[in-house]
Amino acid sequence: MTTGTVRFHRVLRSKPERVYRAFLDADALSKWLPPYGFTCKVHHLDVQVGGTYRMSFTNFASGNGHSFGGQYVELVADERIVYTDRFDDPNLPGEMRTTIRLRPVSCGTEITIVQDGIPAVVPVEMCYLGWQESLEQLARLVEPEIAD
């Protein structure tokens, strides 16, 4: 069965530590990860190599949702995150793999994301759109410098 791959490159006005933490903190994930029009619930998050996570997205308008989970394959503080994803829905078979690379640059953090193994029934352009929306929300979370 053919699978899809999406790739993203973006520069955020934030330190790598903040961006890294936004990928591994349950409250942060539920704020920025779901695309527009969706809510996110993190059911389980064990951030360590071999640790697992489980979450669900719900369409706010219809109430319909999907759940998924996976495992952390690689964690290099402030530099790299690799994890797997598997949908609970048997109509969305296979395992996806997401690799996030962070690199400090003069104005913040360069972020590169590659997600492969996207089930053939999921239009790749929908993944692009969802990730674009998520990354806009990530920027809004990590870029502001707010005094305590």
pLDDT digits (tens, 9 = 90+) for 22-80: 999 999 999 999 999 999 999 999 999 999 999 999 999 999 999 999 999 999 999 99
Least confident stretch, 17-21, 30-34, 88-92:
88-92
Question: Per CATH, which fold does 4-37+75-142 belong to?
Answer: Alpha-D-Glucose-1,6-Bisphosphate; Chain A, domain 4 (3.30.530)
Helix, strand or coil for residue 33? Answer: coil
Nearest Cα to 92, choosing from 134, 61, 57? 57
Q: What is the pLDDT of residue 1?
A: 58
| Predicted local confidence at residue 79, as pLDDT | 98
- Res 2: pLDDT: 66
Residue with tokens 């920025």: 32
Q: 98 pLDDT exceeds 80?
A: yes
Domain limits, the chain: 4-37+75-142
Residue 99 has pLDDT above 80, yes or no: yes
Closest CA to 8 of 111, 118, 81: 111
Q: What is the pLDDT of residues 101-138, one digit of tens each?
A: 999 999 999 999 999 999 988 899 999 999 999 999 99
As to burial, measured by CB atoms within 10 angstroms (0-12 exposed, 13-18 middle, 19+ buried), residue 115 is buried
